[in-house]
A and B are shown apart, each in its own frame.
Chain A
């Protein structure tokens, strides 16, 4: 089975710019969740997508937005980048529903640096 793949692995952007991060879910998974992990901290929940709709959101401003596509891949978009947006962005997929597996499968993340 394929795992979760994220692209790009590293990215440097200037304050005020916009960025799009991409994620391909593990085969058979129907839910994608995005997390922000600042250096030395635990992952913080941004939002979750199930059946192409957002079904949960953490304490992040509207300039953080996302999409889930019919093949369950996903994008995270961040507008008007701020220095504090510098972090590792993690995508995680899981299976919910009758055959739920309850645990996440994570990608290796995208390291975003805002200068």
Chain B
């Protein structure tokens, strides 16, 4: 079975500073990896996904993530955050397109003016 760990439950960061949100997964098979963002009182929005190929994936709103198979990690990064990036971020895995998506517990990103 697959599982997702997000090591930091809360990450405060000053505006225009860089940020990294950490994600590790466990799986006995190859998986597809995702990052979703959830703004208050809203559903989840897909930021980016890794299916295959280049290990560096670029997404919306200036975010990117790097897949590291040996470390089973998929960390999310942004070089300069804005106030509007304040939200909950979820890392997720999926075995095939027919399978369920398994979400991590989430990381709350707070951008400080």
A residues touching B (Cβ–Cβ < 8 Å)?
A: 4, 33, 35, 40-45, 48, 50, 55-56, 58, 90, 92, 94-97, 100-109
* Number of chain B residues close to chain A: CB under 8 A: 23
Q: Whole-angstrom distance between the alpha carbons of A4 and B43 in the complex?
A: 10
B100 to A45, Cβ gap below 8 A? yes
| In the complex, residue of chain A having the shortest beta-carbon distance to the beta carbon of B102 | A45
CB distance from B101 to the nearest CB of A (A): 6
Residues of chain B contacted by A95 (CB below 8 angstroms)? 97
Contact of B100 among A58, A90, A108 (CB under 8 A): A58
Cα of A86 to Cα of B93 in the assembled complex, Å? 26
Q: Please tell me if the beta carbons of A108 and B42 are within 8 angstroms of each other in the complex.
A: yes
Asked whether B105 lies within 8 Å of A104 as measured between CB atoms, the reply is no
Whether the Cβ atoms of A96 and B102 lie closer than 8 Å is no
A55 touching B98, Cβ below 8 Å: yes
Contact A42 B90 (CB under 8 A): yes
Ordered by A's residue number, 18 sampled pairs between the chains whose C-beta atoms are within 8 Å are: A4-B43, A42-B103, A42-B106, A43-B44, A43-B90, A58-B100, A90-B43, A92-B44, A94-B97, A100-B97, A102-B97, A103-B34, A103-B46, A104-B36, A104-B46, A106-B36, A107-B43, A109-B42
B35–chain A nearest beta-carbon distance, Å? 10
| Residues of chain B from 68 to 113 with CB closer than 8 A to chain A in the complex | 90, 94, 97-106
For B101, the chain A residues whose CB sits under 8 A away are: 33, 45, 92, 104
With A42-B105, A42-B106, A97-B97 given, is the CB distance from A102 to B49 under 8 Å? yes
CA–CA, A92 and B44, complex, Å:
9
Q: Are A96 and B46 in contact (CB under 8 A)?
A: no
- Cα A48 to Cα B49 in complex, Å, equals 20
Contact yes or no, A50 B46, CB < 8 A: no
B45 interface hit (Cβ, 8 Å): yes
Chain A residues positioned under 8 Å from B34 (CB to CB): 103
